[in-house]
């Protein structure tokens, strides 16, 4: 099976914008709401737009794939994989994989998944990002 590669500037720019927002949240937000919850919702959108920037798959399979990846990563957190592999001192790996499981994170990922579906299947997407 051939992977349908196709660069999409709109999705690339959205992914880039969300990446910058995620980095800013990680560096400067040290609160109890935005960093842990809003960041987890945004990471689903970031992953989705990054996939769509280079892959020409339809909305639902891409969104489901992203959600499954997030669930797998959260499951690895439950298994304490970063510590078991001795990677807790590798800041980037520990940050990307995370170090603590939370059902609230799962809920945030599901919310991000539904936001992707709303933005991509409704015309509200133009309202959300009027530049595109």
Chunked into runs of 10 residues, the chain (132 residues) has average pLDDT values of 90 97 90 88 98 96 97 94 89 83 96 95 58 46
3-class secondary structure for the chain? CCCCECCCHHHHHHHHHHHHHHHHHHHHCCCCCHHHHHHHHHHHHHHHHHHHHHECCCHHHHHHHHHHHHHHHHHHHHCCHHHHCCCCCCHHHHHHHCCCCCHHHHHHHHHHHHHHHHHHHCCHHHHHCCCC
| Chain mean pLDDT for the chain | 89
The pLDDT assigned to 124 comes to 53
Per-domain residue ranges of the chain: 9-124
pTM: 0.85
């Amino acid at each position: 099976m051939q992977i349908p590669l196709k660069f999409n500037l709109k999705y690339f720019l959205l992914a880039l914008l969300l990446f910058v927002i995620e980095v800013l949240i990680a560096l400067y937000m040290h609160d109890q709401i935005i960093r842990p919850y809003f960041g987890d919702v945004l990471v689903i959108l970031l992953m989705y737009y990054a996939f769509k920037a280079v892959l020409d798959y339809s909305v639902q399979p891409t969104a489901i794939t992203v959600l499954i990846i997030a669930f797998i990563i959260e499951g690895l957190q439950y298994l304490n994989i970063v510590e078991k592999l001795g990677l807790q001192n590798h800041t980037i790996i520990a940050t990307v994989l995370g170090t603590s499981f939370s059902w609230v994170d799962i809920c945030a990922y599901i919310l991000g998944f539904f936001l992707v579906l709303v933005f991509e299947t409704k015309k509200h997407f133009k309202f959300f990002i009027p530049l595109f």
